[in-house]
Amino acid sequence: MVAHKSDPRRYCRQSPGPSAPSVTNTSMPATAAPARPAPRSEGTGPRSLPGEGGLRLQTSVRLRWFAVAGQLLAVALVHFGLKFQLPIGACLGAIALSTWINIFLRLTYPTTYRLPTRLATILLAYDVLQLAVLLYLTGGIDNPFVFLLVAPVTVSAASLPPVSTVMLGALAGTVCLVLMPFHHPLPWTDGASYDLPYLYRWGMAVSVFATMVFLALYAFRLAKESRQMSAALAATESILAREQQLHALDGLAAAAAHELGTPLATITVIAKELGRTVGPDSPMAEDFALLQSQAVRCREILQKLTRHPTDNDPFHGHLTVTQLLEEAAEPYLNLKSRVVLETHADGGTDAPASAERAEPLGERRPGVIYGLGNLIENAIDFAKAEVRVVGTWNAREVVISVGDDGPGFSPEVMDTLGDPFVTTRSTRSRAAKEAGASAGLGLGFFIAKTLLERSGARIALDNHDKPRSGAIVIITWPRAAFEAPTTGWRIKKKTDPAARAP
């Protein structure tokens, strides 16, 4: 049902059935929007993060080579350079074992091999124990290189599951405690001993534990965010790839039209010749005339296919703010909440007209339509009864706000919403959960934000001022970034109203 009233004009779209929701649009006259895909749900897809990544063999081997080189340099400097006495044979034997393990790994596995979690954990545990043997032979916890026990745990935190990191951390902590009372004397000058106070050794152990925990947590968080960002960007690229495939159909249509042009011309010529041969009084004359007319129609269709939309079809390549809102909201008009669309220049609908107050005409961008539609869908999910989408503009900027009357954004996610895998559905949509809706992965808002920001927009989040409730998302473009590049059609639009006629 469509109802028109005095300005601002309103119309209602209603699906069959007594409980169908309505949509009120306060805007300029509406134009038909092309059909869009079914509503998207950010809850689709896998329910867990991508794999933990694993440790590459090449990384493990290279790190161990660095450790071997450093250990050899330290032992040689202390024994041969400083002339300190230490069990050189046992130390070189422990270092040689790491060398043989590296050689075995390189001969057994290819360079690009990614170690299974269990094998990677075992190798890192060996690194802890090998370093523990060297520390035992060279002073235990009194040795300043005791802090190197943190390195295998940090590597595990960045590339292995948390269980492996906890196990390695426990092993390194146990080694540190054992090395406090049990160790060879610290290599020192002849006839002198170097024994630290027992309380100081406890301080060394605590500092090793604190460093281990801090670096492990930092490396784990950094690696997790990197994996999340990679997965989110992959999802965004997948969506953009689908959009690109749709654009590629234009090229396929043009190629098909080019290939069909020659046989269609042949059919047209033969149909004309046959029509002349049989004469106007023949019972087949009408059939030949119909064949000719259909061939002409096919030629016109092929000409439309070969025409570039942005060159000769301004209605396809450009759209106003009103049309943008209508097209983005079209798939969600008959959902549970009423959608209100409103567009006007700053100052309201009754302000005097001017060139700056003319409605901006922007370039049709699938990413902007997709992102805006995703925000509208999210607002509908959390709204109690109504979602209001308002578009305003002035000489400097174009602003679109999407607001709902739901619970609003919680303070703990306000600053992080928009990062991948950060979602508000667990806190904002208890009713949606009871209805069976998915919790979502937090990718929907990230993708929408990314696509809108690529168009030059700024995204701001806020809640309505009390006593109103609900969240509001504000998208702001500089007017020059929103508007389409100047075209001949746009000039005609200002000077010749007939140029807009379809």
DSSP string computed for 21-79: --EEEEBSPP------PPPP-TT-S-SSPPP---EEHHHHHHHHHHHHHHHHHHHHIII
Q: What phi and psi values does residue 186 have, to the nearest 5 degrees?
A: -65, 125
pLDDT of residue 408: 86
Pairing between β-strand 23-26 and β-strand 338-345 as defined by DSSP bridges:
parallel
CA atoms lying within 13 Å on the CB side of residue 162:
6
Please give the structure tokens belonging to residue 498.
């007939």
Q: Which residues does the chain have with pLDDT short of 70?
A: 1-53, 191, 236, 239-240, 242-255, 257-258, 304-316, 347-356, 415-416, 418-443, 484-502
pLDDT of residue 490: 41
362's torsion region: left (phi>0), alpha (psi -120 to 50) or beta? Answer: beta
Helix residue ranges, H only, 279-365:
285-306, 309-312, 314-317, 321-329
pLDDT of residue 146: 94
pLDDT of residue 268: 82
Pairing between β-strand 114-115 and β-strand 55-56 as defined by DSSP bridges:
antiparallel
Superfamily of domain 316-500: Histidine kinase-like ATPase, C-terminal domain (3.30.565.10)
CB 358 within 8 A of CB 322: no
CA distance 126 to 121: 9
pLDDT of residue 230: 75
CB 4 within 8 A of CB 11: yes
CA distance 168 to 156: 8
Please give the structure tokens belonging to residue 295.
């061939």
Q: What phi and psi values does residue 344 have, to the nearest 5 degrees?
A: -170, 160
Q: Residue 110 burial (CB < 10 Å; 0-12/13-18/19+)?
A: exposed
- Report the share of the chain in percent with pLDDT over 90: 35
Q: Residue 35 burial (CB < 10 Å; 0-12/13-18/19+)?
A: exposed
Pairing between β-strand 386-393 and β-strand 338-345 as defined by DSSP bridges:
parallel
Please give the structure tokens belonging to residue 356.
């700056």
Please give the structure tokens belonging to residue 78.
């202390």
Residue 300, helix vs strand vs coil = helix
Pairing between β-strand 361-363 and β-strand 386-393 as defined by DSSP bridges:
unpaired
Residue carrying structure tokens 């759209």: 319
CB 128 within 8 A of CB 173: no
Please give the structure tokens belonging to residue 114.
């990614």
Burial call 74-109: b when 16+ CB within 10 Å, e when fewer: bbeebbeeeeeebbeeebeebbeebeebbeebeeee
pLDDT of residue 189: 80
Please give the structure tokens belonging to residue 211.
């460093």
Q: E-strand spans in 397-463? A: 397-404, 458-463
CA distance 42 to 420: 12
Q: Which residues contact 168 (CB under 8 A, 6 or more apart)?
A: 121, 124, 125, 128, 152, 153, 156
